[in-house]
């Protein structure tokens, strides 16, 4: 049975569907394996053992069916799962239990997925290493002295450690793609609006998207097909047809034009990352793609724009956590004192930093100077991508400037923020993007490639990644020792 832990979700669903194994046996195997790996990895904030086994038995009894029937799935703990705590890895949501399922969770259940637990994250999804969690530390399964990336570090770590087949994360500026790169997984950020955010605790509403961590591109395509589509509870989801993403995957790149920003590779300090990405680009050319140089002249301002826009939106969204309706409430002599005590003790330092930055950027005397100007530069970044996509179908480059770093190594905020230098522009422009494993460094740490396509060209992006994955598989098909 142990060998089942290393198959992908598509194959696991097939085995359950064809009665070669049972959903209960598969779920029990994953839960047992999590019991062995969690003391060293710490991916989960909680495992729902009884609930998961009950869901699996319903699949085996024929009460639930679908394309993911019997597949164990983990959920980042800023996404509501009815009846379970939602903590956002923060003290301020102490005692809060979700009253309903998020739309993405509801659709996973309808597809037969078995929800096994909630995963750790940087508090309120603010961070790039999963070190900002107020509840516990998550470690990278490839080397437990290193971070798994963030903010969706727990979701990445559990799939890499084989204690889930698929997990959900949220991506605001790279929070799926960066951990996927650090943990050797496929991490998919859909086009903005492709997947509903209803039931997701908001960080930055114009940027947040929900997407999967998987072991293969085919699994990512299947997950997106299940979750995507119009949701009347989320006005940012348009009335657009959801393609059959798995059926559209191809094994070649004939006719595809792949854009490359040469400076990203030529000026990359880590030559192992640059070399792995360049080899992957060479493979894309061998698969039939033509390689063209493109420029993104305003992308260098992406981090500055992001930390103004995202912090401003966070300042607004997190104002609801005041100790009045739910979560932590600290006693005080008056209402203002209760606000100050509850928020002061409930939020961690990174969350406070971004709330203060965002409140300042939105203040009457500074709004146009900061938030207004950031919005204008964001438009320029989007126009750069529009111009680039007139010359190419997708853009390829590095996902992160380096492989996973050691815990505590990047203690100052600026060095941590720079982790997302390659992923943030796609979020600002609302593109679809993914991280694909393309190699390892000399220490055996995974290296990810960043692939981006125009908004709502998710099918084209997934197909290109699938073709490249087929060529790279012999080079990247490894399993972490901890798994």
Query: Of 44 and 411, which is predicted with more confidence?
Result: 44
Of 151, 155, 181, 311, which is the active-site residue? 151
Q: Which two tokens stand for residue 249?
A: 């995957």
The answer to whether the beta carbons of residues 386 and 248 sit under 8 Å apart is no
Other Cβ atoms less than 10 A from the Cβ of 266: the count is 9
Taking the complete model, does pTM exceed 0.75, yes or no?
A: yes
Q: Which two tokens stand for residue 165?
A: 């087949």
The answer to whether the beta carbons of residues 102 and 118 sit under 8 Å apart is no
Return the pLDDT at 459.
98
In this prediction, residues 302-317 reach a mean pLDDT of 97
The answer to whether the beta carbons of residues 121 and 89 sit under 8 Å apart is yes
The answer to whether the beta carbons of residues 51 and 58 sit under 8 Å apart is no
Spatial distance between the Cα atoms of 143 and 426, rounded to a whole number of angstroms = 29
Return the pLDDT at 42.
98
Of 76, 189, 256, 410, which is the active-site residue? 76
Return the pLDDT at 482.
87
> Among this protein's residues, is 175 annotated catalytic?
yes
CA 456 to chain centre: 18
Return the pLDDT at 164.
98
Question: Please, is 474 exposed, middle or buried when counting C-beta atoms within 10 Å of its C-beta (0-12, 13-18, 19+)?
Answer: exposed
Q: Does 151 sit behind a cis peptide bond, omega within 30 degrees of 0 on the bond before it?
A: yes
pLDDT in tens, 77-105: 999 999 999 999 999 999 999 999 999 99
Please state the domain extents for the chain: 2-253+399-476
Closest CA to 352 of 146, 134, 30: 134
Other Cβ atoms less than 10 A from the Cβ of 390: the count is 9
Q: Does 1 score more than 80 pLDDT?
A: no
Other Cβ atoms less than 10 A from the Cβ of 459: the count is 21
Phi (first) and psi of residue 199, to 5 degrees = 90, 10
For 2-253+399-476, which CATH superfamily applies?
Amidase signature (AS) domain (3.90.1300.10)
The answer to whether the beta carbons of residues 341 and 327 sit under 8 Å apart is no
| Beta bridge partners of residue 290, listed in sequence order | 257
| Beta bridge partners of residue 452, listed in sequence order | 395, 433
Spatial distance between the Cα atoms of 126 and 208, rounded to a whole number of angstroms = 12
**For the chain, what percent of residues have pLDDT higher than 90?**
96
In this prediction, residues 463-475 reach a mean pLDDT of 96
pLDDT in tens, 32-51: 999 999 999 999 999 999 99
Return the pLDDT at 344.
96
Return the pLDDT at 268.
94
Return the pLDDT at 117.
98
Lowest mean pLDDT among 156-160, 340-344, 411-415: 411-415
> Among this protein's residues, is 76 annotated catalytic?
yes
Cα 20 to Cα 9, 204, 478: the distances in Å are 14, 44, 25
For β-strands 446-453 and 166-171, DSSP reports them as unpaired
pLDDT band at 483 (very low <50, low <70, confident <90, very high): confident
Of 128, 175, 181, 427, which is the active-site residue? 175
pLDDT in tens, 218-245: 999 999 999 999 999 999 999 999 999 9
In this prediction, residues 130-159 reach a mean pLDDT of 98
Q: Does 437 score more than 80 pLDDT?
A: yes
In this prediction, residues 16-20 reach a mean pLDDT of 97
In this prediction, residues 182-192 reach a mean pLDDT of 98
> Among this protein's residues, is 290 annotated catalytic?
no
Spatial distance between the Cα atoms of 31 and 185, rounded to a whole number of angstroms = 20
What average pLDDT is seen over the chain?
97
Burial state string for 60-73 with b = 16 or more CB within 10 A and e = fewer than 16? beeebebbbbbbbb
Closest CA to 397 of 181, 251, 183: 181
Question: Please, is 122 exposed, middle or buried when counting C-beta atoms within 10 Å of its C-beta (0-12, 13-18, 19+)?
Answer: buried
Looking at the chain, how many residues does it have? Answer: 483
Number of helices followed by number of strands (H, E) in the chain? 16, 11
Helical packing angle, 271-286 and 458-476, nearest 10°: 110
Would you state the torsion angle of the CA atoms of residues 85, 89, 92, 96, taken in this order, to the nearest 10 degrees? Answer: 0
Closest CA to 467 of 275, 286, 226: 286
The answer to whether the beta carbons of residues 243 and 463 sit under 8 Å apart is no
For β-strands 432-440 and 446-453, DSSP reports them as antiparallel
Half-sphere exposure of residue 466: CA atoms within 13 angstroms, side-chain side = 20
| Beta bridge partners of residue 448, listed in sequence order | 437
pLDDT band at 334 (very low <50, low <70, confident <90, very high): very high
Return the pLDDT at 348.
97
Q: What is the DSSP string of 204-219?
A: -TTT-EEEEEESSHHH
Return the pLDDT at 414.
86
């Amino acid at each position: 049975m142990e060998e089942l832990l290393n198959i992908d979700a598509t194959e696991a669903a097939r085995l359950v569907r064809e009665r070669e194994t049972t959903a209960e046996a598969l779920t029990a195997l994953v839960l047992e394996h999590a019991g062995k790996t969690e003391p060293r990895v710490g991916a989960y904030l909680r495992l729902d053992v009884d609930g998961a086994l009950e869901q699996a038995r319903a699949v085996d009894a024929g009460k639930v069916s679908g394309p993911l029937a019997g597949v164990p799935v983990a959920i980042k703990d800023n996404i509501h799962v009815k009846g379970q705590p939602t903590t956002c890895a923060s003290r301020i949501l102490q005692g809060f239990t979700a009253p309903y399922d998020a739309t993405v969770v509801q659709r996973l259940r309808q597809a037969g997925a078995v929800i096994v637990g909630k995963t750790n994250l940087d508090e309120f999804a603010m961070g790039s290493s999963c070190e900002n969690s107020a509840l516990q530390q998550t470690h990278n399964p490839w080397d437990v002295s290193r971070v798994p990336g963030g903010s969706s570090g727990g979701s990445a770590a559990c799939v890499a450690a084989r204690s889930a087949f698929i997990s959900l994360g949220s991506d605001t500026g790279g929070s799926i793609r960066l951990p996927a790169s650090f943990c050797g997984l496929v991490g998919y950020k859909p086009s903005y609006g492709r997947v509903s955010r209803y039931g997701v605790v908001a960080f930055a509403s114009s940027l947040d998207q929900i997407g999967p961590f998987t072991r293969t591109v085919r699994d990512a395509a299947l997950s997106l097909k299940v979750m995507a589509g119009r949701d009347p509870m989320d006005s940012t989801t348009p009335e657009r047809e959801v393609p059959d993403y798995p059926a559209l995957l191809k094994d070649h790149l004939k006719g595809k034009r792949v854009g490359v920003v040469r400076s990203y590779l030529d000026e990359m300090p880590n030559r192992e990352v640059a070399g792995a990405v360049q080899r992957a680009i060479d493979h894309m050319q061998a698969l039939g793609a033509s390689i063209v140089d493109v420029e993104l002249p305003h992308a260098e301002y992406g981090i500055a724009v992001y930390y103004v826009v995202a912090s401003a939106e966070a300042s607004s969204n997190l104002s609801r956590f005041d100790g009045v309706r739910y979560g932590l409430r600290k006693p005080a002599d008056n209402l203002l004192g209760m606000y100050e005590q509850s928020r002061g003790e409930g939020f961690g330092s990174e969350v406070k930093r971004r709330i203060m930055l965002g409140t300042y950027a939105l203040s009457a005397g500074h709004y146009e100077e900061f938030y207004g100007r950031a919005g204008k530069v964001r438009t320029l970044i989007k126009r750069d991508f529009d111009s680039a996509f007139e010359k190419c179908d997708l853009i390829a480059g590095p996902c992160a400037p380096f492989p996973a770093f050691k815990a505590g190594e990047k203690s100052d905020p600026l060095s941590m923020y720079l982790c997302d230098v390659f992923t943030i522009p796609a979020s600002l422009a609302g593109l679809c993007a993914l991280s694909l494993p393309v190699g390892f460094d000399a220490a055996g740490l995974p290296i990810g490639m960043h692939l981006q396509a125009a908004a709502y060209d998710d099918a084209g992006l997934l197909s290109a990644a699938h073709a490249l994955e087929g060529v790279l598989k012999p080079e990247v098909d490894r399993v972490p020792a901890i798994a």
